[in-house]
Amino acid sequence: MMVEVYVAGLSLDPQTNQFVVILREKSEGKRFLPIWIGPFEANAIAIALEKIDIGRPLTHDLMKNIIEALDAKVEKVFIHSLKENTFYATIYINIDDKTLEVDSRPSDAMALALRTNSPIYVDSKLIEEAGFVEEYSAEEELTKLLQDLNPDEFKKQ
């Protein structure tokens, strides 16, 4: 089953000294999937996340420009499997009412999806196998605290 996710963060893993992109489940938002990526891919994702205009197109910008020039559209990207510690993804491109499935590394698929405002999906089995669930939510704690708050407690004594 496909689960829609978004890029919740990008950072450097201090233990491995590698970049990691954190995908977060969109609907309930409690499940995360970390994917370790290279520095060039991290840079491409960071540029897209921050919407930085660097003047000349980089590889993922070029891919976006070619897709648009062909009057095609990136429907979605799907991170579907994990084999020998390597994630695999597919980019779905619609052209002339046909859907092309293009094999991709997840980092390239995400960089393209961010540039084309296309949804990112992950197989739910991957999140269960390689992801984690947020045990503590500061937002939930704050919401509960505010709901339980008694305004009378703020009156001057």
At 14-69, the pLDDT tens digits run 998 999 999 999 987 789 999 999 999 999 999 999 999 888 999 999 999 999 99
**Residue 24, CA distances (Å) to 107, 128, 155 in order:** 15, 13, 41
The reply to whether 109 falls in a domain is yes
> Number of folded domains in the chain?
1
Alpha carbons 88 and 23: distance in angstroms, whole number: 15
Would you say residue 74 lies in a domain? yes
C-alpha distances out from residue 109 to 45, 103, 116, 137, Å: 10, 9, 11, 29
152: left (phi over 0), alpha (psi -120 to 50) or beta: alpha
Q: What's the Cα-to-Cα distance from 27 to each of 1, 18, 50, 106, 133, rounded to whole Å? A: 14, 28, 23, 21, 13
User: Assign residue 132 a region: left if phi > 0, alpha if psi is -120 to 50, beta otherwise?
Assistant: beta
Confidence class for position 157, pLDDT limits 50, 70, 90 = very low
In CATH, what number is assigned to the domain containing residue 18? 3.10.690.10
pLDDT for residue 77:
98
Tell me how far CA of residue 45 lies from CA of 86, 113, 144, 150, in angstroms.
18, 10, 35, 45
Segment 60-110, tens digit of pLDDT: 999 999 999 999 999 999 999 999 999 999 999 999 999 999 999 999 999
Does the residue 142 lie in any domain?
no
Q: Which domain holds residue 22?
A: 2-135
User: At residue 51, what is the residue type?
Assistant: K
Instruction: Residue 123: name the closest of 31, 19, 53 by CA.
Output: 31
Residue at 22 is within a domain: yes
Give 146's pLDDT tier (boundaries 50, 70, 90): low
146 part of a folded domain:
no
pTM: 0.83
